[in-house]
Chain A
Amino acid sequence: MSETSRTLALKSSEFRRGREASWQALETLLDRAERRGIRALAPDELEQLPLLYRQALSSLSVARAIALDRHLLLYLEDLALRAFLVVYGPRRDLAGGIRDFLLRGFPLAVQGARWHVLITLLVLLAGCVAGYTLTIADAHWFYTFVPSGLAGDRGPDSTRAELLDDEIFHPWPGLVESFVVVANFLFQHNTMIGILSFSLGIAAGIPTLILIAYQGLMLGAFLAVHAKLGLAYDFIGWVSIHGITELGAIVLCGAGGLLVAEKVLFPGRYSRVESLARVGGQASQIALGAVLLFFLAAILEGGFRQLVSDTVARLAIGGAVGACWITYLSLPRTGGADDGRP
């Protein structure tokens, strides 16, 4: 072989010349898709994208095996990653996502956590019974359980007439006062409680259970104060109109928290972090649904509670709303959660 007079033929240069056009084509598509979203691509370009993406992946594999050209390899690594991010980005727009969430995601997530819902419900009831028994025996427990901001003027010292006129059968204060001011305050307050009890699940669930039990304690304390004055029946009617939705939402938040807590405590055959990620999507769908319920509860509470001033009618509305929720959440839905992890 002559050492001096042959033409150098580099396999890597041939490789690059042969494939460069498809890389450039992919890069042009990616530039547009990254700047203006995947909708900026024409239908035939959308068809091309996965093909070009696979070609880039195969180029990358070849380059990893043969390339001594550092820049080329780095370029292909970047190109493949950019194409991967565009091809496997979130698949739905917001509207489609909301529809899917309401029709399948939320009910399916709740159905998958039915034991957690049951446990949370029991804890809430236990808190309620404890609050009731303690406050019946000694009215001063009320001040321990209920912060003054929530109690308002109500308490063990309230008279029967005060409770009836100012609370249970208080006349409707008008659109502004009830919907805009009261409902908004209640929504923000309740949502915070819900989100807290959900996210504290990450601390092994103990704070979640304490928070849920505490909500029960407050309810029990209120019930006891009213029961002492013989108003238990009217109070339950007054609470039921929104309380079914609101307590349901609190229970769901707690259940979401427990779902997370379970994976923190018993990660099973995955690592703890991996295990958390597997359940996080389901848990957060429950929490998001619960926020929606809080919103509806606040509207019911701020408005309809005082508009309907008859205890039997209130109980009927509360029961009907509750039955709606149970049906909505427990109706069987087709297929697995589409948004579940593979």
Chain B
Amino acid sequence: MTAVHERTARFLNPIGRAKREIVTPEGVPLQVELADFGERLGAFLLDFVFLYLGILLLAIALGLVLGEFDADPRIIFTLVLFLGFLIRTLYFVSFELAWRGATPGKRIVRLKVIDRRGGPLRQNAVVARNIMRELEAFLPLSALFAVAGPGSAWERLALAGWLLLFALLPLFNRDRMRGGDLLAGTMVIALPKRRLLVDLVQATEQAEFTDRQLRAYGAFELQVLEELLRRPDNAETIRLRQDVCARVCRKIGWDKPVPPGEVLDFLRRFYTAERAFLEREQLYGRPVEDKESAGGRD
């Protein structure tokens, strides 16, 4: 994004997600938004619940079926243990491969795993980040909650510290990577989903403002005005629009009164004219960034 767009983004949304840039194989840089720590944790917890719910259901089903045949309870127990291990190992890998970098949990929270450098997400990267998951979470977790687990409180404390160390790792690096991401060269991003809204510009509008009036503002103000026009209609928006309308009229010396019912229409007409003017200026190599640089030239 250009400097003006970034400035508008910071102005309108000062605490947005951290952003990174990846470069596609075609050489076009794309902006991605990193997933928050909370989103990552939420997705993992969801997956964790799904996973163990599945294993539990499997255990019950196996117990019922094999119980019919008077099977040795140890067989059922070990079968569940073994299948549980297999399911746990395959769950993340197969979902991240089949759903292009998302597990059910990530899909609900709208996250996706991507290659950190913008290349295709490789199969062995998916394997790498999920083998590390065993060490980061499942191994210490199962040791911590095992029936015959470590006896002393110190051992449990050490395990908990180990868990915490890996769990908090994403907080201590720029790209919010956990151990597996580090090894696999991946990062987790929040999925974008913006729909195309109508263009605010009406194509055949008559010019009613003079160049002199339009020179009062620059691209930054134009974009803030755009955001105001796109805001959902409610009492606060209407108040804001009236306020902005009054200020614009004062600034450009618009002496005809604007009745409250026509504020939106007036601002929209002004927006169209201003954008047409700024576009033309930009085309002639005189981009106007904001009202300060606009006023200075006159």
Task: List the interface of chain A (C-beta within 8 A of B).
Answer: 3-13, 16-17, 20, 23-24, 27, 37-38, 54, 57, 60-61, 64, 66, 68-75, 77-82, 84-86, 88-94, 97, 100-101, 105, 176, 180-181, 184-185, 187-188, 191-192, 195-196, 198-200, 202, 260, 273-274, 276-278, 280-285, 287-288, 291, 339, 341-342
Contact = CB atoms under 8 A, between A and B. Distances in A.
Tell me which of A191, A273, A274 has the highest count of chain B C-beta atoms within 10 A of its own C-beta.
A273
A23 B196 contact: yes
Please provide the 8 A-B residue pairs with the shortest distance between their CB atoms, ordered closest to farther.
Answer: A277-B185, A89-B100, A284-B128, A281-B124, A78-B192, A280-B183, A199-B135, A88-B120
Interface stretch (B221-229, B237-245, B253-261): B221-229
B293 interface: no
B234 interface: no
A63 B184 CA distance: 34
28 contacts: A4-B208, A7-B206, A8-B205, A8-B206, A10-B272, A13-B199, A24-B196, A66-B283, A68-B219, A68-B282, A85-B100, A88-B24, A90-B126, A92-B97, A97-B97, A185-B78, A188-B85, A195-B139, A198-B131, A276-B182, A277-B182, A280-B128, A280-B183, A280-B184, A280-B185, A281-B125, A281-B185, A284-B124
A187 B85 CA distance: 10
A269 to B, nearest CB: 16
B297 interface: no
Contact of B276 (A8, A90, A192, A287): A8
A84 B24 contact: yes
Nearest to A337: B124
A282 B226 contact: no
Contacts of B183: 202, 260, 276-277, 280, 283-284
Interface string B60-96: 0000000000001011001101100100010000101
Query: Is the interface on chain B under 10, 10 to 19, 20 to 34, or 35 or more residues?
Result: 35 or more
A155 B26 CA distance: 65
Contact of A10 (B1, B31, B119, B279): B279
Nearest to A263: B183
Contacts of A180: 74-75, 78-79
A61 B28 contact: yes
A21 to B, nearest CB: 11
B97 A10 contact: no
B1 A64 contact: yes
Contacts of B185: 274, 276-278, 280-281, 341
Given A90-B122, A91-B120, 10 more contacts: A4-B210, A13-B201, A79-B194, A80-B28, A81-B32, A176-B75, A200-B135, A274-B185, A280-B124, A291-B89
Interface in B100-153: 100-101, 112, 114, 116, 118-128, 131-132, 134-135, 139
Contacts, number: 233
A94 B118 CA distance: 22
A284 B179 CA distance: 13
A68 B8 CA distance: 11
B116 to A, nearest CB: 7
B193 interface: yes
A274 B282 CA distance: 40
Interface string B161-186: 00000000000010001010011111
A7 B230 contact: no
B85 A288 contact: no
Given A90-B101, A277-B184, A82 B192 contact: yes
A57 B24 contact: yes
B197 interface: yes
B124 A90 contact: no
A16 B278 CA distance: 17
Contacts of B283: 11, 66
Contacts of B222: 68
B192 A81 contact: yes
Nearest to A23: B196
B82 A16 contact: no
B30 A84 contact: yes
Interface string B182-215: 1111100001111111011101111110110000
Contact of B184 (A10, A68, A88, A281): A281
B131 A284 contact: yes
Contacts of A100: 123
